[in-house]
Structure 1
């Protein structure tokens, strides 16, 4: 018994042996919904900028800053969430991402002035730096031989998010034009 050889698998060998199943589908849906939300938050910038500019009489520079601060937040968030997720675990990273983006996004809808809106949208941008974390988390559970194909599949969620956001904005424009 002591001389019995126990087979050792690498992670990729184990994933290839197990294949793609229910667990991977759940991770695909969860990570995919994160990408849908991220795409919608990015896409909304093109709709809220002109509306806020008109409502609050903003200058073109102020309107531009409203968009730029989100992308600056993305820059900070992409690095920060990757570091947090690598060092403290994907679960903690994804939970932090979801909380920050959700709370800051919701609060930005109730902003009373320009400064609070810019600050909150910057925090949303930091939360939106989650894209690389969602993608890498999903791909960690995919057999190596299929990762390229599944990268394309999960990217579809981003497209669905942009289409859904555009449809919501279009519906909102139609509803407001009738009033």
Structure 2
């Protein structure tokens, strides 16, 4: 008999607790959310390859400038990767993913109005720095909702989103960048490649809304930071979503 007179409840390690939640609806929704995160990362990392020929005219870029623009995203990732790992372990995986994607999308929106090459280089550096959690923290976030029996398979399926992102992006570039319209602003001529920058940032906003509405914080992180009650509520929710049973019927009182 467990606490409060409940029958059949037991004390188990976290790996057993997450395994007892089963595998079903919740994990499918989780995979969709993480797939959107990864596709967003692919959009941002590859977008320069498509807009470079058009942006080169507006910024009057040399060969060296083109190389610099192509590399700034990855420089931002390298410079920020350790920081995001620390923040994810301190404040939570979900918060880091949400903050990074939201700030990245905002940065891209304002970056589309850049009037000099150096300003846009800074924007691309920030894009790489801010979207970095989608390539490192994301795997920890996904894995901590799975038991050892399903974790590897989930990560393999997550990588399908790389192919989806890499397939959709050139289609968007083909539709948007060749357009010849121009919008005259006081400091720039706003052309189609700038709209492409905004469009590639939209998946980040969509993913933020999805995670806010659908996905919780990692229960393993909550348990590690002493928030055992919140972790238990999330485990109960996962169990209910997967099994269709009431959350209260989840057969664990506390996980170590």
- TM-score computed with the length of structure 1 as normaliser: 0.88
1:41 is matched with which residue? Answer: 44
Structure 2 unaligned blocks of 5 or more: 3-8, 181-256
Residue 71 of structure 2: SS of its match in structure 1?
Answer: helix
Structure 2 residue aligned with 1:24: 27
Distance, in Å, in 1 between the alignment partners of 2:177 and 2:113 is 20
2:166 equivalent in structure 1: 162
> Which aligned pairs between 1:9-158 and structure 2 lie closer than 5 A?
9-130=12-133, 131-158=135-162
Higher CA-based Rg = 2
Contact 1:81 1:97 in 2 (8 A): no
Structure 1 residues without counterparts, runs of 5 or longer: none
Q: Give the C-alpha shift of residue 23 in structure 1.
A: 2.3
Distance in 2 between residues matched to 1:134 and 1:74, nearest whole Å: 14
The CA deviation at 1:74 is: 1.0
- SS at structure 1 position matched to 2:61: coil
C-alpha deviations, 1:109-161, integer Å up to 9, x for none? Answer: 11111111111111001012111111210111012111111111011112111
Deviations 1:75-105 (A, max 9, x none): 1232221110111111221122112211111
Query: Which structure: greater strand fraction?
Result: 2
- Name the SS of the counterpart of 2:11 in structure 1: coil
- 1:174 is displaced (CA, Å) by 5.7
Whole-angstrom distance in 2 between the partners of 1:25 and 1:77: 30
Q: Distance in 2 between matches of 1:111 and 1:169?
A: 19
- State whether residues 104 and 124 of structure 1, in contact with CA within 8 Å, keep that contact through their aligned partners in structure 2: yes
Distance 2:170 2:52 in 1: 14
Cα RMSD of the aligned pairs, angstroms, is 2.2
Q: Does the residue aligned with 2:104 lie in a helix, a strand or coil?
A: helix
Please give the TM-score of this superposition, normalised by the length of structure 2: 0.63
